Amino acid sequence: MAAITPASATEPPGLETQRREIENIVQNHELRAGDSWYLVERRWFEQWKEYVKTGDQNSSSFPGQIDNTELFEDLDSYHLKERLVENEDFVLIPAEAWRKLLAWYGLVDDQLALERKVVDLPSTVKVEVYPVEIFLCLHSNMDNVVTAQFSRVDTIQTIEKVMRKQFDVAESAETRLWMKSSDTSCERLRNIYVSVLDSCLSTGMTVIMEMRNADGTWPSSRPQIMRNSVEEQDSYRGQPGVCGLTNLGNTCFMNSALQCLSNTPPLTEYFLRNAYLEELNFTNPLGMKGEIAEAYADVIKQIWSGRHYSVVPRVFKTKVGHFASQFLGYQQHDSQELLSFLLDGLHEDLNRVKNKEYIELRDADGRPDQEVAEEAWRNHRRRNDSVIVDTFHGLFKSTLVCPECHKVSVTFDPFCYLSVPLPVSKERVMEVFFVSLNPGAEPVQLRVVVPKAGKVIDLCIALSQATDVPANQMVVADVFNHRFYKIYHADESLSCILDRDDIFVYELSSGAVEEDGEEVVLAVYLRERPHCRDYGSGGGYGTTLFGHPLLMAVPRDQCTRDALYILFLQRLARYVRPPETSEEVEEEEADDEDGEEEDEEEEELYRTQTNGVSNVTNTQTDDGDNDSEKAGPSKRASKEGEAPDGLTSSAGHVDRQNNGQSEPSEEDGGSDPERGSSSEEGQSAGSSSGGADTNTQSDLATAGASGKVEDQEEEDEDQEDNEGRGSESAMAYVSSGKRAAGSGRNGQSRKKRRPLFTIQAVNSNGTTERGMGEGGTAFSFSSQPYVAIDWDPDMKKRYYDENEAEKYEKHGSMEIPHQQTTVRLQECIELFTTVETLEEENPWYCPVCKKHQLATKKLDLWSLPEVLIIHLKRFSYTKYSREKLDTIVEFPLRELDFSGYLLRKTGVNGEPPSRYDLMAVSNHYGGLRDGHYTSYARNKDNGQWYYFDDSKVTYAREDQIVTNAAYVLFYQRQDKIRKPTLPAPTDGCAASVKPANDFTSSNHDGLAGAASCVNMETD
């Protein structure tokens, strides 16, 4: 308050009047928070009391002008002395009493009135004699520090206004304040409406103001790192909004949702004009203290600054994970789930309703729909009022009918997006390879139609109609990485089989059904051993799997090494050529005693560790005794985490392809499924033929992986000749080998016939070997047996025909193009509004029947928002199956008309309130377990469509947008659409910015164009 000179003092009333008025004011005035009181030096006040008590205006005790000189440390700064005591050094008088005294006596020249506020502290109400003294500075110039005093009841906004005035900061500049308590610790002052006391500001602290950069960033990315100058801005200038988002690790789902929201004009303009700053709700218990809204605003301002190629949304990701723990870490998530959380979080952070009142909902009870709807919307807005409600919220009409008493319950409920179902077919098309019992026949690739909720036996029945082979003589299996990943039971659900799995169906003879029957089903793997075999290893990890495994049934009385050798040669006759008599490899052995001892030792090692056949019942280990349906951890990890080597099913399953083929090498060695080992990548179904002499086993199912094979046919006569020749050669070969080995015992030297391959018992992974007995010793199996055929590289190269093994035949069903299911968006909306019966898990409580009922429910659209989000429910989860629907939904880019679905028929000035234009699409490529998210969006300024793939942005054409990857659609009502303010860019312009901004002008069509720059992410 300005000093009042003696000339300005008014004529005082009588002394008794003065005393009475001042005493009444002081005695009757209570302390109230926010009121102003004044400090008066005690000696002057006591002298005034003495003066008015005498009643003599000419008394020598006249106090003169109010003088507080004794209360100041110095008269230059008028800084109050420390440790002043009330009623000893000063007295406090209310503002009314001060004004009277000031008017009667005036104030000494140049002195300031010592006004102090009454503050409401946690335990008491008192006059704040010593206010908080704070240092103020700008982030861009930390050396220019100004000292200011503020009451504890002043708000942070008061400090902000003082700083704007002190440092000449424009009102339009966006600022934020930091509270610095020490040299290393800074904290954001987010809520500018709280008091200095509540924000924990105290004397000696520093308040720093920083202003947002032109590119949307803040000078201090972290409060702990305060720089003294703003770094030089990048010289890049681009189209605002055309900016990528860096993938932080499986965050494509977040980037896709953010790009769609960023290109929602009303929401983006709300943040760009800083309207959110006045509506931040820091006290909402359902909100995130304004942090989600601020983090989202930072991302939007950076994207639309036009100064970034790509933005790193790390702070936003951290905030989302902090308030929604399901998004912590770097796992893949659903873009629609993040979108739902983000819209709800923004709504609560920006809710204009500070204190939500309790509102009891009422049923319609026969009232008109218009009345009930208006009441429901009014009640909703009483508790929820934000830009999200203004932009995205509409109203449903929900009708429930009790099946017993026919009570009709009508309610109107708000919604933020429509989750519309896709028409689900009850059938599915499966591509399989059928392996005939005839070893000379090539596998046949077929396409069959089966029930979605069917069993494996249904697949066999459908295949039986195409092949004339009884369904009970078929076994279904999945082959991955040259192993049987799973052998299916006939009663297992087909939902266990994914479209990308490579499924083989083997024909077996009847007879192997009984567990203790005359035949046993063998699972046979093909392996290649390195040239230098380590006999001491015994673990089989020096081998490399190749080709496809076999499944064949053999008589139990032929489970000897020699007998199995003959049977395997017969089964492999189509692509394994037995050596001619002139080609037989012989090995000479010395007859001396040392040589005989070495031979016996080697034969013992060979028999027990390498390829002998023994009674497995007595030699099984934990590693080897695996059930046919159980896969080791390493195998399952490989199954779900990487593509099978060399398996490229003609169905084109993207996720499990490997395009390369490699020759056998020792570096490839090891059949560890984690490494996806295979020396012969790209082997076809042909190498997976079933056994020549096999029986059916109804509770077994086998699988083979389809391969990268050629469509080549052989004449039946050649197949029969080949089979017969192979059988005869095998018998002759084994017989001559026995004779040569036997005659060598008593002669000067011995000659052994070298076999094409050796036989070794293994586990289901094809790795851990189990010892087998001497040649000629029979063995039996107590569980599914796995056997490996081990090839020497030289023998494999000479006698194993890879080209022949890759051949397969295409059935006529494969020639018919696979029709992609297509539906219209309007069909999905109609399906959404059809009557349905509630499920048993979600019954409705009928107020008339007084019990829960499976009522019928119907949803109708009553009112639609300015921006309509439509979620296509592509991920289907039921009690029996889980799948992703790749149905193409044909959605219009313009003129999506809801007039036929809206119950409320309104129109203002002829404007179409129910017609919408598309403005963004969130896409999902992949399946249930993995995939990649991208987005299409239309820029609000130039009207151009862009394709956003994480940090990469490309131009897009309208004919590319409708694909089977579309997941979430964003529509804007036509009466709210603004015309673009800038011309659309040309292809020439796109080419000119490509080197700097990684832009490309799209010359591709449809999904192919989108997928050309899609990098698949997996969990």
- pLDDT, tens only, 103-132: 888 898 878 888 888 888 777 888 888 888
Q: Could you tell me which residue, 967 or 183, shows the higher pLDDT?
A: 967
Q: Of 802, 628, 789, which Cα lies nearest the Cα of 707? A: 802
DSSP 597-617: HHHHHHHHHIIIIIS----HH
Joined together, the tokens standing for residue 646 give 């060399």
255-282 b/e (C-beta count within 10 Å ≥ 16 → b): bbbbbbbbbbbbbbebbbeeebbebbbb
State yes or no: pLDDT of 678 exceeds 80.
Answer: no
Q: Could you tell me which residue, 554 or 1018, shows the higher pLDDT?
A: 554
Confidence of residue 136 (pLDDT cuts 50, 70, 90): very high
State yes or no: pLDDT of 1008 exceeds 50.
Answer: no
pLDDT at 642: 38
The one-character DSSP state at 80 is B
Q: Is residue 809 a contact partner of residue 444, using CB atoms and an 8 Å limit?
A: yes
SS3 584: coil
Q: Of 924, 483, 446, which Cα lies nearest the Cα of 651? A: 446
* pTM for this predicted structure: 0.64
HSE value, Cβ hemisphere, 13 Å, CA-based, for 84: 22
Non-local CB neighbours of 555 within 8 Å, separated by 6+ positions = 518, 519, 693
Non-local CB neighbours of 42 within 8 Å, separated by 6+ positions = 87, 88, 89, 90, 91
CA dihedral (718, 723, 725, 728) in degrees, to 10, reads -160
Alpha helices in 333-444 (DSSP H): 335-349, 369-383, 387-392
**Is 532 annotated as catalytic?**
no
pLDDT at 583: 66
How far apart CA 13 and CA 103 sit, in angstroms, is 11
Q: Of 85, 87, 76, which Cα lies nearest the Cα of 130? A: 85
State yes or no: pLDDT of 656 exceeds 70.
Answer: no
Joined together, the tokens standing for residue 744 give 């060598």
DSSP 962-991: --TTEEEEEEEEGGGPPPPSSPPPPHHHHH
A 10 A CB-CB count for 742 gives: 10
The per-residue pLDDT for range 627-640, each reduced to its tens digit, is: 333 333 333 333 44
How far apart CA 171 and CA 160 sit, in angstroms, is 11
Residue type, 783: S
- pLDDT over 70, % of the chain: 72
Confidence of residue 934 (pLDDT cuts 50, 70, 90): very high
Confidence of residue 883 (pLDDT cuts 50, 70, 90): confident
pLDDT at 222: 43
Confidence of residue 252 (pLDDT cuts 50, 70, 90): very high
Q: Of 193, 199, 222, which Cα lies nearest the Cα of 281? A: 193
Residue type, 97: A
Phi and psi at residue 812, in whole multiples of 5°?
-60, -25
Q: Of 703, 649, 787, which Cα lies nearest the Cα of 486? A: 703
Quick one: which H or E segment has residue 804? helix 802-805
Residue position matching structure tokens 């898990």: 841
How far apart CA 652 and CA 131 sit, in angstroms, is 76
State yes or no: pLDDT of 243 exceeds 90.
Answer: yes
Q: What is the largest CA-CA distance in the chain?
A: 156
Q: What is the mean pLDDT of the chain?
A: 76
pLDDT at 691: 38
- pLDDT over 90, % of the chain: 25
Q: In degrees, to the nearest 5, what angle opens at C-alpha 282 toward C-alphas 281 and 285?
A: 95
pLDDT at 779: 52
521-545 b/e (C-beta count within 10 Å ≥ 16 → b): bbbbbbbbbbeeeeeeeeebbbbbb
Average the pLDDT over 88-98 and give the result.
Answer: 92
Least confident of 179-183, 213-217, 340-344: 179-183
pLDDT at 232: 38
Least confident of 70-74, 438-442, 458-462, 662-666: 662-666
pLDDT at 12: 77
State yes or no: pLDDT of 425 exceeds 80.
Answer: no
Average the pLDDT over 699-708 and give the result.
Answer: 34
A 10 A CB-CB count for 422 gives: 18
pLDDT at 867: 95
A 10 A CB-CB count for 198 gives: 13
The per-residue pLDDT for range 943-971, each reduced to its tens digit, is: 999 999 999 999 999 999 999 999 999 99
How far apart CA 621 and CA 121 sit, in angstroms, is 77
The one-character DSSP state at 708 is S
pLDDT at 778: 54
Confidence of residue 758 (pLDDT cuts 50, 70, 90): confident
pLDDT at 481: 86
pLDDT at 586: 58
State yes or no: pLDDT of 733 exceeds 60.
Answer: no
pLDDT at 771: 53
Quick one: which H or E segment has residue 923? strand 915-926
Confidence of residue 197 (pLDDT cuts 50, 70, 90): confident
How far apart CA 551 and CA 694 sit, in angstroms, is 9
Sequence length of the chain is 1019
Alpha helices in 683-808 (DSSP H): 716-743, 793-799, 802-805
pLDDT at 194: 86
Residue position matching structure tokens 């119907």: 858
pLDDT at 367: 86
Q: In degrees, to the nearest 5, what angle opens at C-alpha 139 toward C-alphas 136 and 140?
A: 120
HSE value, Cβ hemisphere, 13 Å, CA-based, for 607: 14
Residue position matching structure tokens 């308590």: 181
Least confident of 54-58, 436-440, 622-626: 622-626
State yes or no: pLDDT of 97 exceeds 70.
Answer: yes
pLDDT at 391: 95
SS3 906: coil
Q: Of 328, 338, 327, 345, which Cα lies nearest the Cα of 288? A: 345
Bridge pairing between strands 483-487 and 418-421: unpaired
Q: Could you tell me which residue, 736 or 526, shows the higher pLDDT?
A: 526
Q: In degrees, to the nearest 5, what angle opens at C-alpha 503 toward C-alphas 518 and 611?
A: 50
pLDDT at 91: 92
Quick one: which H or E segment has residue 889? strand 888-890
Joined together, the tokens standing for residue 829 give 């909306």
A 10 A CB-CB count for 212 gives: 19
Q: Is residue 584 a contact partner of residue 795, using CB atoms and an 8 Å limit?
A: no
Phi and psi at residue 162, in whole multiples of 5°?
-60, -40
Average the pLDDT over 7-17 and give the result.
Answer: 72
104-127 b/e (C-beta count within 10 Å ≥ 16 → b): bbbbbeebebbebbbbbeeeeebb
pLDDT at 159: 92
Catalytic one of 308, 482, 871, 932: 932
pLDDT at 544: 86
Quick one: which H or E segment has residue 17? helix 15-28
How far apart CA 414 and CA 416 sit, in angstroms, is 7
Give the gyration radius of the chain's Cα atoms.
43
299-322 b/e (C-beta count within 10 Å ≥ 16 → b): bbbbbbbbbbbbbbbebbbebbee
Joined together, the tokens standing for residue 1013 give 């720059």
**Is 871 annotated as catalytic?**
no
pLDDT at 362: 79
State yes or no: pLDDT of 706 exceeds 70.
Answer: no
Q: Is residue 296 a contact partner of residue 346, using CB atoms and an 8 Å limit?
A: yes
State yes or no: pLDDT of 219 exceeds 50.
Answer: yes
pLDDT at 960: 93
Average the pLDDT over 220-247 and give the result.
Answer: 65
State yes or no: pLDDT of 775 exceeds 70.
Answer: no
Q: Of 893, 954, 952, which Cα lies nearest the Cα of 919? A: 893
pLDDT at 987: 52
CA dihedral (743, 746, 751, 753) in degrees, to 10, reads 40
Residue type, 382: R
DSSP 640-666: HHSPPTT---TT--GGG---------G
CA distances in angstroms from 396 to 373, 393, 407, listed in the order given: 9, 10, 20
| Maximum mean pLDDT: which of 298-307, 483-492, 579-588 | 298-307
pLDDT at 393: 95
- How much of the chain is helix, strand and coil, in % rounded to 5? 30, 25, 45
Average the pLDDT over 182-197 and give the result.
Answer: 82
Residue position matching structure tokens 């851990």: 768
Bridge pairing between strands 856-863 and 394-401: antiparallel
Q: Of 546, 545, 563, 541, which Cα lies nearest the Cα of 554? A: 563
SS3 293: helix
pLDDT at 714: 39
Average the pLDDT over 836-858 and give the result.
Answer: 88
Catalytic one of 137, 186, 243, 252: 252
Joined together, the tokens standing for residue 481 give 């990485």
Q: Which residues pair with 177 in a beta bridge?
A: 209
